[in-house]
Structure 1
Amino acid sequence: MKHFFASLSLLISLSISAQLKSPAEFLPEYGKHVTYYHQLEAYFAQLQQNTDMMQHVVYGQTYEGRDLHTYIISTPENIKDIDNIRKYHLQQAGLASGTATATRGNKAIVWLSFNVHGNEPAAAESAMNVAYQLINPANAETKEWLKDIVIILDPCLNPDGYSRYGNWLHSITGQQLHPGLADREHMEPWPGGRENHYAYDLNRDWAWQIQKESQQRIALYNQWMPMVHVDVHEMGYNEPYFFPPAAEPMHDFITQAQKDFHTAIGEVTAKKFDNKGWSYYTREVFDLFYPSYGDTYPTFNGAVGMTYEQGGIGAGRAVARENGTVLTLQDRIDHHSTAILAAVETAAWQREKLVKNFRLYFKDAREHPKGKYEAYVVKSGGKTEELAAMLTRNNIAFAYADETKKLSGYNYQADKDKDFTLEPNDLIIKARQPKGVLAQVFFEPEQRLSDSLSYDITAWALPHAFGVQSYALKRDISVKTKTSPNYKGKLEVDRVYAFYIPWNGRQSVKVLAQLHKNKIRVRSAHKASFYRGINIKTGDLIVLKGDNTHIDNFEQTLKVLLDSKPDYEAIESGFSLTGADLGSEAYPLLEEPKVLLLSGRGISSTDFGQAWFYFDDMINYPVSIVDIANLSRISFSDFNTIVLAEGWYDLNDALKARIDSFIDGGGKVIAIGSALDIFTDRAGYSLTKYATETSRTAEQEAEDAAELDARFYNYESYIRRELSSSVSGAIVENVLDASHPLSYGLGDKYFSMKTSTTYYQLLKGASNVIYVPQGYKSFGFIGSSLKKKLGNTVTFAVEQKGSGSIIYMADNPLFRGFWENGNLLFGNAVFQVN
């Protein structure tokens, strides 16, 4: 009878496998042309229908309505018990409560992520082949691996970008291949398929989760917490293949066990590539430092996180490379498939180590904090709400203080130890918790760089990003806490004369946006005042009943519109106890912005996307987007605000003159980053790199002297010398004019994310609202030569011109969406600065 059931099981398996098709059998153009996303979905559907080794999970949707898929792959026995395996895995690592049986426990959990960048199509193409090889009954080797492994395979993290690229490529190619570069197949148009719908780079969004694709993926990721994560990419087509070990700098919190697995996987993969004669490199370029990548984020969550890069961006279907070879799409698929399966193989034979080290990682996190501090305190306020939301998305535990206590700790804003008072509603994050390593990565004041040649930004401390008074404590604290903040009860009023809305974070901007959309007239406080029970600070909003007689049911309408801002109050009299009365000129009306955002070739797609997303999603406010090529067709009279995102604007004199007239006639221009070049050293504008001709001459003489010295340097040190005048993305201290509307709600200082080497002297005849002082503090890497030049340079300035204004933003306040104080600053520029 036992043999009968074994034979029956074999017959069923053979019957199922007879239906199973390889990618090439299912897709006629597989390996020759990029697969449409719906075809990729169809291929995985046929795998799912013809195997008992796969479980399908739809974990979300993109902004364009495409499904986001994962496929859990293992042996049939493991699949049947998959939820128990998952729970046991989490419980043994201390990441979940309860108990689960170990019948099929102790599996290695491996997550494979493909195509976070849409125009790197060989990643998604190889996902189909990898999935097929794993479940193909004829592949005995993979079946052995899967006895001890559960694989979560995400074939395409960015379906919108992948579809944009693939649809374009299909629309412009014919039957003939064009490996030569002189063909549009290798000239992807703006904005390209790399980013998602809002032109966000999802590969830099793992930690911050500003985009919904990231939020939905990390929610599932936290339900599984893999031990190995493979992030599959492409790079320039002339490059060979990159696989681990990674390059320096590696973050200090990365364990030796994680590094050892990198070495093991590198050795296994190298042998396979050596046998086929394929070119590759390791330990270069791709480091493990910035925490929001697809390799580092899993690493700080206990996994062995790895990047795999195949040459192929811009290759189309086939491309002639510098070495005389032709790289085909099939080549790229083969290289990826081999490397990824090598990773799975390595995980299989290192399974016991992976399981042991993963559990030890979280045990150490709970018992032995890696960083300098044991706890972090963030003072309560509007921006704290957004910080709490980000911590929640990352499963980092926190609580709110429920008592008052005198404490001492490192103050981020002052960069020194200070005494402070812990108060109810202050946020407390402790290092001793399962996600303690990730929490410390986010909150350590400064991360040590083992190598200044870094691939991305080198500082990101959340207290600076969010602009909130924060403290790091070397000892844990024991205080009474609560799970949510409490808001004081509303003041009782006999009648409503006005509504007061604190200007203290992104939600304030969003509420103001909704008030404007509903034609509610709003005033801004330009002077601090005190009313019964209410301290009004500069920038706070006032909605007067007398300004809005056109609104029926004023009180009820406002309460509905303010429902998302629980710290609002009603005011029963315009007479102040101190300061200015509500009828004073200290409370000017705010103009309703009518915004034009430029798009198109020459403009950075990611920076454009950050501005678009800010209006469209963050604050839910209308913005008109016009391609720069169509600008001559637009009447500027329809707008009062123009936003110029970072970019290289090749404007003719006629368009520049139209912008000049727009400003002179009362319009406002917000120019970010290299968009400032439009106004630099132009007649009628104050923006200049040099304050005087003497400073221009002095800097030129210094550059000439450096070039003379460089004659004696050797070739090998060239890149290191260049670092002296570079910045990898560092946090720079700025002082601010708190009385200016551009600074409302930002705090006593502003810490800016500096990603560009461009700087401007303090302007003459303009308001230098936020600038870098002499002797400024900075965090992260800034080259020694550049660092000397940044003192007394302007970061954000406002110049009045005619009846209008221009706001100069040398740094991008919307950087990747997570620089929360920058989001508020941009809100000031749009809504508060007239």
Structure 2
Amino acid sequence: MNAIKKPLMDFSLSGQIPFLIFRKLPNMKKLLTALIFSLFTFLQAYAQVDYFFPGESFDPAIPSPEEFLGYPIGDWHTRYDLIVKYYEKLDAVSDLAQLQTIGYTHEHRPKIILTIASASNMANLEAIRQKQLQLADPSKPKPDVSSMPSIIHQGYGVHGNEPSSAEAAMLTAYWLLASQSDLAKNLRANAVVHFDPTVNPDGRDRHSLWANSNKGFPPVADPMDREHNEAWPGGRTNHYWFDLNRDWLPLAHPESQVKIAWYHQWYPNVTTDFHEMGTNSTYFFEPTKPYGSENPVVPRKNYDDINPRFAKYFAKYMDEIGSLYWTKEVFDNSYPGYGSTYPDIHGGLGLVFETASSRGHLQASQRGDISFAFTIRNHVVNSLATMEAALDNREYMHNYLREFFESAVSEGSKDPAKNYVFGDPYDASRNQLFIQFLRDHQIKVYENSSDLTVGGQSFKKGKSWVVPTAQPQYRMVRTMFEYVKEFADSVFYDASAWTMAASYGVPFASAPGAKPGTEVLNSSMPTYEFPEGNAYAYLIDWSDYFAPKMLHDLQQAGIHVELINRDFSSQTQDGRVDFARGTLMIPMGFQKLKKEDVQKHLKELAAKNSQKVYKVTTGLNVSGIDLGSNLVGAVQEPKVIMIVGPGISSYEAGEIWHLMDTKVGMPITKVNSDMFNRVNLFDYNTLIMPSGSYSSLSESSVSHIKDWVNRGGTIISMKSASLWLNQKEITKEAPVELERKPEPKELPFETRRDFEGAKEVGGSIYMARLDLSHPIAYGYRRETIPVYRNTNLFIQPSKDKYLTPIRYTANPYLGGYISKDNLEKLKQSASVLISPTGGGRVIHFFDSPNFRGAWYGTNKLFLNAIFFGNQMD
């Protein structure tokens, strides 16, 4: 490309030339070899530094990344452990650098932050932090911002297979610490810069291994080459195949949990978020698409003034190196869980950057071959531009931070809602999970001081909580409790709805008359006293979120568990208690273990899982069926296999894997689709099929699935997998058909994206109605529940009037974008339906019960399908 400044030499052999030339020469040549090698290494490092930072001088006491790693940046994809080691080296050689570990990933890689500032600022780092927190707290006097350093947070590499940013993180940290330029000196004196070199270390190493293992010598630019086409699931996602650039809001993963905890310790003025896009693109920086991609709670000043103010710096830096760029298109800034949006809702400026990707070391594009080094340089110059812009606007951004939180309290005090009240009277664990979630986002939560009835819902004192709107995190309160229905655009890059109170499935309502009681500073899972003495049986209510985990643990301990399929009342240690269908029973007369061992395990597991255990001394109930009824039966122990691999949605498969690992503790077998022909399904009783294409399955595999399900197996089918089952005549369900409305016969070519995109369901929330008598709904006490949908697949309810246990209500639309035609289809379609197949069944999910690890309210629908699937038809 013309924009690429040619290096002084071709260093593709990374220092190996002297060895190749002199390896066969006599010993007297060793000195010459060493001298030439040293010269070569010097020229190599010089060429690299000059390419990224032309004309600058550096402190020789600070090693460059090339000197430390032993190869030029861009020659290899640097492993995460080496990035950490390089930052450790900077920490060791300079008093101006400080490294801290803030947590660990799923695969136990450290999450690190490197802080760089002047010696005086380093000596007063805690005082600087406290002053920044004071600035963000309207209840405290505003500090003098004239001498406060700018707080800059440089974030890189949330997508593991967008690797250029992490390399840029090393170069930028080196430049800030070692450069002798006036700008670097000014930054060190007047800013505190925090570097997070890789938001997603696990995904990065997955991709780095792929790229390095498939690198050619010389590199192969052909996009069809294996190097540029990762194996499923690719390195974009984390260990559980989640996109961490969506997790700043849900906080489903340790990477995000520790990051958000750190963020609220600093409230940076500016936060960067570096990415890659298609190879034939150029470079993108904010502003994003005006109005159409903006978050509804972010002040207009952020979009109308601050973003354009910073954009001038990015343009200047890109102009200097001749790189092409664009702004104000496509990229979304609406979803609060982005790394570039969350800071906008906290008084800072979040900035997304996207560079054309080499997806390897060299790849052909419409403008010529793009090298890895070129993509890195684009991010380096914008890292520097961000710091210069933040420095020049230091006082302005500090004043904005204060203004942001002051206006939040002011706007919140005028909000007609005044308060939101929430609480599920039957699920103590889920209440506490939601309280902890709100507290993690620094939202103030209070006890509800009196019984309330609002919006047709009752909220009892002691089992409900109040969130006032008049608080500094008012805009996050809106994010948690508001349904958004009005949009400037109808095309969404991602989700168009994110009401987190709905995702947790807790009853909630605006409550202007609520009176907040004592503030809740920490959540605590419920504890219960275990009933002592002899028992005829023990009972466990299925309503609590962790009841499925309790069931799994009981089965693993060898304890026989039965399921009661009707409502009943029993005399317990607490007197008469009414139990709902789905209650678990541990009959003491049918256990292989000794009575004292059953009691010991039961007591330990109840404490571990925060479950209340009821003791009964007779099988004769006060009302309803008795404990020996034919409507009581053994719970089948699940043996679960899930198809994964090419063509299958890694996001959806990862959500299921994550749910089973982290919320149930149940191992499930994940088998690649190209290995499925080796599977004996009769070793399992449940087959999970995430959304995707199953065209790679052979006809013999299809026959095996048909035979297995006909003999009693349970298939849990997610969305588009149901189409494949229909195609293979394993099920026979029908799509919703509406009378076609005439479309315009012609439209301008440039409108195609908006016109066609408006037909998509951009991730939105609807109210569904449960058949509480069906096993899919066990554990639920209310007939309605919010569900999340992100598919255009609309299937008619079952022809069997008993087998559509979850339908949409007459007016189901709660929040997010949906077209009128799609909403009409939705009203006529099923959310969950059951297809009997011989002696087995297929349980179809057309919504997303496990979406992003955040939909606690609908997780149990999916878990019921696993534990009680054989009773659902």
Aligned to 1:468: 506
Matches within 5 A, 1:654-665: 654-665=700-711
Matches within 5 A, 1:215-614: 215-247=257-289, 248-259=292-303, 260-312=305-357, 315-322=359-366, 324-369=367-412, 372-380=416-424, 381-382=426-427, 383-401=430-448, 403-408=449-454, 417-418=455-456, 420-446=458-484, 448-474=486-512, 477-479=515-517, 495-532=534-571, 533-553=576-596, 554-563=598-607, 564-614=609-659
Matches within 5 A, 1:17-56: 17-27=59-69, 28-56=71-99
Partners of 1:90 and 1:224 within 8 A in 2 = yes
By how many angstroms is 1:718 displaced?
A: 2.0
Partners of 1:85 and 1:104 within 8 A in 2 = no
Alignment match of 1:174 (pick from 213, 216, 220): 216
Query: Deviations along 1:662-692, whole A, 9 cap, x unmatched?
Result: 11111111111211122125435232225xx
Partners of 1:647 and 1:675 within 8 A in 2 = yes
1:760 equivalent to 2:795? Answer yes
Matches within 5 A, 1:48-197: 48-94=91-137, 106-197=148-239
Farther off after superposition, 712-721 or 178-187: 712-721
Give the direction of change, closer, same or farther, for the CA distance of 1:301–1:377 in structure 2 (3 Å limit): same
- Corresponding residue SS for 1:165: helix
- Corresponding residue SS for 2:232: coil
By how many angstroms is 1:116 displaced?
A: 0.7
Cα distance in structure 2, aligned partners of 1:210 and 1:156? 18
Cα distance in structure 1, aligned partners of 2:612 and 2:640? 28
Alignment match of 1:733 (pick from 731, 745, 767): 767
Aligned to 1:810: 846
Aligned to 2:18: none
By how many angstroms is 1:729 displaced?
A: 0.5
- Corresponding residue SS for 1:433: coil
Aligned to 1:3: none
Give the direction of change, closer, same or farther, for the CA distance of 1:635–1:328 in structure 2 (3 Å limit): same
Cα distance in structure 2, aligned partners of 1:635 and 1:684? 18
By how many angstroms is 1:316 displaced?
A: 1.0
Which letter does structure 2 place at the counterpart of 1:714? P
Q: Percent identity?
A: 28
Cα distance in structure 2, aligned partners of 1:134 and 1:458? 39
Which letter does structure 1 place at the counterpart of 2:499? A
Cα distance in structure 2, aligned partners of 1:517 and 1:492? 22
Aligned length: 796
Give the direction of change, closer, same or farther, for the CA distance of 1:489–1:211 in structure 2 (3 Å limit): closer
Partners of 1:773 and 1:793 within 8 A in 2 = no
Query: Deviations along 1:572-604, whole A, 9 cap, x unmatched?
Result: 322211111111122221100011112211111
Give the direction of change, closer, same or farther, for the CA distance of 1:551–1:270 in structure 2 (3 Å limit): farther
Aligned to 1:627: 672
Which letter does structure 2 place at the counterpart of 1:722? E
- Corresponding residue SS for 1:295: coil
Aligned to 1:7: none
Give the direction of change, closer, same or farther, for the CA distance of 1:646–1:236 in structure 2 (3 Å limit): same
- Corresponding residue SS for 2:329: coil
Aligned to 2:22: none
1:787 equivalent to 2:823? Answer yes
Query: Deviations along 1:2-45, whole A, 9 cap, x unmatched?
Result: xxxxxxxxxxxxx9932212223333131222112222222222
Cα distance in structure 2, aligned partners of 1:422 and 1:360? 37
Partners of 2:527 and 2:610 within 8 A in 1 = no
By how many angstroms is 1:384 displaced?
A: 1.5
Farther off after superposition, 552-561 or 361-370: 361-370
By how many angstroms is 1:222 displaced?
A: 1.7
By how many angstroms is 1:205 displaced?
A: 0.7
Q: Structure 1: which 5+ residue stretches go unaligned?
A: 1-14, 409-416
Cα distance in structure 2, aligned partners of 1:832 and 1:717? 49
Aligned to 2:21: none
Alignment TM-score, normalising by the size of structure 2: 0.87
Partners of 1:502 and 1:541 within 8 A in 2 = yes
Aligned to 1:412: none
- Corresponding residue SS for 2:787: strand
Cα distance in structure 1, aligned partners of 2:457 and 2:765? 24
Give the direction of change, closer, same or farther, for the CA distance of 1:226–1:628 in structure 2 (3 Å limit): same
Partners of 2:423 and 2:459 within 8 A in 1 = no
Aligned to 1:636: 681
Cα distance in structure 1, aligned partners of 2:180 and 2:531? 76
Q: Structure 2: which 5+ residue stretches go unaligned?
A: 1-56
1:770 equivalent to 2:806? Answer yes
Farther off after superposition, 467-476 or 29-38: 467-476
- Corresponding residue SS for 1:60: strand
Give the direction of change, closer, same or farther, for the CA distance of 1:270–1:783 in structure 2 (3 Å limit): same
Farther off after superposition, 534-543 or 347-356: 534-543
Partners of 2:550 and 2:611 within 8 A in 1 = no
Cα distance in structure 2, aligned partners of 1:454 and 1:504? 36
Cα distance in structure 2, aligned partners of 1:540 and 1:568? 11
By how many angstroms is 1:485 displaced?
A: 7.5
Query: Deviations along 1:34-92, whole A, 9 cap, x unmatched?
Result: 11222222222222222221110111111222111110111121111111111121123
Partners of 1:87 and 1:96 within 8 A in 2 = no
Give the direction of change, closer, same or farther, for the CA distance of 1:199–1:552 in structure 2 (3 Å limit): same
Which letter does structure 1 place at the counterpart of 2:484? E
Cα distance in structure 1, aligned partners of 2:321 and 2:525? 64
Farther off after superposition, 74-83 or 419-428: 419-428
Partners of 1:59 and 1:220 within 8 A in 2 = yes
Give the direction of change, closer, same or farther, for the CA distance of 1:482–1:176 in structure 2 (3 Å limit): closer
Aligned to 2:32: none
Cα distance in structure 1, aligned partners of 2:539 and 2:345? 43
Farther off after superposition, 247-256 or 629-638: 247-256
Give the direction of change, closer, same or farther, for the CA distance of 1:682–1:88 in structure 2 (3 Å limit): same
Aligned to 1:6: none
By how many angstroms is 1:486 displaced?
A: 9.8
Query: Deviations along 1:703-736, whole A, 9 cap, x unmatched?
Result: xx63xx4323222322222134211111122222
Cα distance in structure 2, aligned partners of 1:778 and 1:434? 26
By how many angstroms is 1:448 displaced?
A: 3.7
Give the direction of change, closer, same or farther, for the CA distance of 1:371–1:568 in structure 2 (3 Å limit): farther
Cα distance in structure 2, aligned partners of 1:760 and 1:199? 28
**Root mean square deviation, CA, Å:** 2.4
Matches within 5 A, 1:605-754: 605-650=650-695, 651-683=697-729, 685-690=731-736, 695=737, 699=739, 702=740, 706=742, 709-746=743-780, 747-754=782-789
Aligned to 1:822: 858
By how many angstroms is 1:493 displaced?
A: 6.8
Query: Deviations along 1:253-284, whole A, 9 cap, x unmatched?
Result: 21133222111111121122223321111111
